[in-house]
Chains A and B, each alone.
Chain A
Amino acid sequence: MSDTHAQTVAFVRDTMLPEQPPPASEAGVIKWMRENLFKGWFNSILTLLSIFFIYKIVSGAYPWFANGIWNTSSLAECREMLDGMTGACFSVLTERWNQLLFGFTYPTEAYWRPTLAVVLLLVAIAPVLYPKAPRKLMLFTAIYPFLAFWLIWGGTLLTPLMVLVGLIAGYFAFKKFERQSFAMGMLAGLVATVVVIWAGGVIPAAMPDVLALQAIPSRDLGGFMLNMILGTVCVSLSLPLGIMLALGRQSSMPIIKWMCVVFIEFIRGVPLITLLFVANVVLAYFFPPGSNIDLVLRVIIMITMFSSAYIAEVIRGGLAALPRGQYEAGDSLGLDYAQSMRFIILPQALKISIPGIVNVAVGLFKDTTLVSVISMFDLVGMIRGPILASTEWNGVYWELWGFAVFVFFIVCFSISKYSQWLERQLATDHR
């Protein structure tokens, strides 16, 4: 064959041609642009519009940032330095950073305490957030709330220590009676905790200066610190409450179910602001005469109720999503209600619910800014009140609001990114 071929054809290529680059319009950047930016006239118009929009924003914002002034002590001085140029007076941030972050009555010499509390918070939540973190850190997580309380509010370390001891006593009592029944264990634990705290209360009262930091009343808390405190405290408190409410709502006992449904639907039906009004002007009437529970605590109570109702709904979704077989499996193993919930149902239901819980947490953290409406000085309250009304900084809007947007965005965005990451990590059943 090859012979005949050789005679009839003058030239036979015996090697492959080198690969030609694809046409310019079908390769690299140009192809990408053709497909992603200029596919059809409508897309092209959209692209041009977007480019114009981006150009407008950048050209407007760039000189504002670039000419920003960081070291003046009042708006008038800053305007003078700018001399008619477009530029930001970031000096309001450098001059008032402490008020924005800590409020205006928190003692300056104690700033290290909440700062340390935040750093330790990161350590404490690591084992919760990252399943791979060393398990021993869990111990620190358990101690953290007491440590943070001591750092932020001050006073003697014995007070939180006493509560911790009480809880440990409660735990042991629970373990001891758990064999008999879960309810008995809970009851014993509760009684032990209350008794130990109540009896032990005399110790910090007798020795108020042992390991004491300067005590700081709650109304001196402010700035972004207040948002952080409200957010973390309320989310952590509302988790157990939310689980109980969700279980109650799924319960087969009509009275308990009915109680939980009414509570959840009521709380979800009213805006948070009305609950804050309740904390502000009504709740004090429901406490015993003479007891003086301060505003921060009242707000924590109301926000916790608020978020526990939402978390309960998320967890209920998780419970409902579990196949019925899981419940039956628990029953068929002879586990009682508490056991089957603790060992079979809840671990799975909570896993499904985590993204939803994180969403609720982010929403709640954003909602902590609402306390500014009831004249508490959180980050937004500080900006609206003392800073914008001060003689020096009357009229600095964009720098301050930009700062607030920046801070909240960083925190909320990272939490939601984390939740997405966790969702992928936990997706063990869809392989």
Chain B
Amino acid sequence: MSTISDPPSGSFQLSMLINDTRYRSYTFQFIALILLILAFAYLGYNLLANLQAAGLNISYKFLGEPAGYDINQTLIDYTSQSSHWRASLVGVLNTLLVAFLGCIMATVIGVVVGVLRLSNNWLVRQLMSIYVEIFRNVPVLIWILIIMAVFIAVLPQPRDFRGEDATASMVFGAFAFTGRGFYSPAPVFGPGSGVVVAVFLASIAGIFAFRNYAKKALYDRGQLIPTLWPSLAIFFIPAILAFFVMGRPITLDLPSLQGFNFQGGIFMRNSLIALWFALSIYTAAFIAENVRAGILAVSKGQTEAAASLGLRPGRIMNLVVLPQALRVIIPPLISQYLNLTKNSSLAIAVGYMDLTGTLGGITLNQTGRAIEAIFLLMLFYLAISLAISAIMNVYNNAVKLKER
């Protein structure tokens, strides 16, 4: 808009609403507001008319009624007698679970691939760019369904483990990879296991303390203390010692074939794994590009300056390149996390019971409360993305270059 230079003068005339740039914007906004209100009124009127014609109303009472259906993966107590509200909560937790697992795995794969794409090994470079191109250019829904198809068609079903002429067997007698999901041993915490866990946590704290000490030693005195091997030692030795000292309080619950399915151990359903893996490898392809771009964005002079100071390549990466690259990498990385979380709503294609599966799926179907259920569903995703955007803004402000 043009900037105003004239001092306001004379009396106000009606034509100024259109011809005077000072007032015209008010006219436009007023018209826009009226149009907006009219549009909403029109839609709302239609909605009410349609609902009235169909004899329906908007009500959230259904949330308190018993859901009546069962959910296979529940992180909190849930039975078919729990309310729809509780079923939605189960869905929320399942969404967050798969999003959390997916973000971690996508980051790991993405960073590795992104760094390897800049490797000086030609073959690896080519392989990684093939990976990125293939996964980026095919819809994630297809990847989810393909991994699900692997489960359905390739992996053995529990019935193949049964009997004398079983065609499949468990790995190490403890892990079973079946078409219905993966079974692995679950730790059982007996009496005295609290000590072991406490020791373990303490040793993790110890690692951080040691690393801090090493860093301080490096910065203050220029003394280089090796960190890798001591860290590993601190990580393993005290916990293992405590484990045996306490008389092996933690035992393993092995899965075993009973009846139709394996029982015991930890069970990760095929739907969870299909969704998790597919989201991870798909998002990782994008993250790899972000990482690559971030590293390339660090000027070559930085690397050369570090090298001329005599730093080894590993340290150049850790101390010079990565800290600067992170500033470029992290904002798009977080928006990839957001995309992953939103894409996790595709769970419905493989029957994973996330929020879209419970509230937006079965609850909607059973109660017929489409408007209410979808409204709540959108609200949840909106809250998540606003929260993540807020985190991103805080981060951006924190790492903003402090210019003096």
Chain A contacts to B: CB under 8 angstroms: 32, 35-37, 39, 43, 46-47, 50-51, 53-54, 183, 252-256, 259, 265-266, 268-274, 277-278, 281-282, 284-289, 331, 336-337, 362, 366-367, 369-370, 372-373, 380, 384, 395, 397-398, 401, 404-405, 408-409, 412-413, 416
- B142, B378, B382: which contacts A405 (Cβ < 8 A)? B142
Q: Tell me the interface secondary structure of chain B in the complex.
A: helix
| Chain B residue nearest to A252 in the complex (CB) | B1
Question: Chain B contacts of A285 at CB under 8 A?
Answer: 46-47, 50-51, 371
Contact B121 A286 (CB under 8 A): no
For residue B43, CB closer than 8 A to chain A, the reply is yes
Output the nearest chain A residue to B385 by Cβ-Cβ distance.
A269
Q: Which residues of B contact A287 (CB under 8 A)?
A: 46, 50
Please report whether the interface of chain A is mostly helix, strand, loop or mixed according to DSSP: helix
Q: How many pairs of A and B residues are in contact by the CB < 8 Å rule?
A: 164
Bound Cα distance from A51 to B127, whole angstroms: 10
What is the minimal beta-carbon distance from A226 to any residue of chain B, in angstroms?
A: 14
Q: Contacts A36-B121, A289-B49: A270 and B137 contacting too (C-beta < 8 A)? A: no
Q: Which of B123, B153, B343 has the most CB of A within 10 A?
A: B123
Any chain A CB within 8 A of the CB of B386?
A: yes
How far, in angstroms, from A259 to B32 measured CA to CA in the complex? Answer: 9
Interface residue? B25 (CB, 8 A): yes
Q: Which B residues lie within 8 Å of A268 (CB)? A: 385
Q: Is B224 an interface residue (CB 8 A)?
A: no
Interchain CA distance A427-B374 in the complex, whole Å: 45
Q: Cβ of B11 < 8 Å from any Cβ of A? A: no
- Report whether A269 and B127 are in contact in the complex, using a CB–CB cutoff of 8 Å: no
Interface size class of B (residues with CB under 8 A): 35 or more
Stretch in contact with the other chain, from B192-200, B205-213, B344-352: B344-352
Most B C-beta atoms less than 10 A away, residue of A35, A266, A409:
A409
Q: List 7 A-B contacts (CB under 8 A).
A: A183-B28, A286-B46, A286-B50, A373-B349, A397-B146, A398-B149, A401-B149
Are the CB atoms of B374 and A366 closer together than 8 Å?
no
Q: A46-B121, A253-B28, A404-B142 are in contact. List 19 more A-B contacts (CB 8 A).
A: A36-B120, A36-B122, A50-B124, A51-B123, A259-B32, A270-B342, A272-B342, A277-B360, A281-B370, A281-B374, A288-B46, A289-B50, A289-B53, A366-B139, A370-B139, A373-B141, A398-B149, A404-B138, A412-B136
Whether the pair A266, B382 counts as a contact (CB closer than 8 A) is yes
B160 at the A interface (CB under 8 A): no
A residues within 8 A CB of B239?
Answer: none
When the two chains form their complex, are residues A274 and B377 in contact, meaning their CB atoms are under 8 A apart?
Answer: yes
Quick check: is B15 within 8 A (CB to CB) of the other chain?
no
